[in-house]
């Protein structure tokens, strides 16, 4: 599978580890950055990873920041991205099967390497089930993107 992986500085070490792990598992991996542990802004890497998924260079993405929250919020602002912050294997699998999640978000300061492996494995092994109720719900998500596609209010 073609996978994009990206992280901010807080997720850099886990990203490097998962990059090697995914390649060892036989996946074609695109490194969307960052390329050091120097402080950076997570929205930049959420955008770079998301663009790789949206333009078809990657089938799915794995995005990492310190808690996973900021990266998840940023990725979900991009139409077509359905990012889920997961710290348990059930959510990593079910997010794909029911919600057609295409980006797994991890909190590097929250989980360890062994759990990260399990989360990635469950995320990548899962497929959207395509049941009518789940297709209907994903269509509603897409409709929300169209309806509220304006920039959010903020600082």
pLDDT in tens, 23-49: 999 999 999 999 999 999 999 999 999
Using the predicted structure, report yes or no on whether residue 100 has a pLDDT greater than 90: yes
pLDDT of 153 reads: 46
Q: Is 65 a catalytic residue?
A: yes
Which is the catalytic residue, given 98, 117, 129, 134?
A: 98
Eight-state DSSP code of residue 30: E
Flag whether the pTM goes above 0.85.
Answer: yes
Catalytic residue among 9, 17, 24, 65: 65
Annotated active-site residue 98? The verdict is: yes
pLDDT in tens, 122-142: 999 999 999 999 999 999 999
**CB neighbour list of residue 1: distance below 8 Å, 6 or more residues apart:** 27, 28, 59, 60, 124
């Amino acid at each position: 599978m073609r996978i994009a992986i990206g992280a901010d500085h807080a997720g850099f070490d886990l990203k490097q580890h998962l990059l090697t792990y995914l390649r060892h598992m036989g996946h074609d991996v695109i490194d969307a950055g960052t390329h050091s542990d120097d402080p950076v802004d997570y929205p930049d890497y959420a955008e770079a990873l998301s663009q790789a998924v949206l333009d078809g260079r990657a089938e799915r993405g794995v995005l990492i920041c310190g808690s996973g929250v900021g990266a998840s919020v940023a990725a979900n602002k991009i139409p077509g991205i359905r990012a889920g912050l997961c710290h348990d294997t059930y959510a990593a699998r079910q997010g794909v099967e029911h919600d057609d999640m295409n980006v797994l978000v991890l909190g590097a300061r929250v989980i360890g390497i062994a759990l990260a492996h399990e989360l990635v494995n469950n995320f990548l092994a899962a497929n959207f089930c395509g049941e009518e109720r789940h297709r209907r719900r994903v269509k509603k998500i897409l409709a929300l993107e169209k309806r509220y596609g304006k920039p959010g209010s903020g600082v």
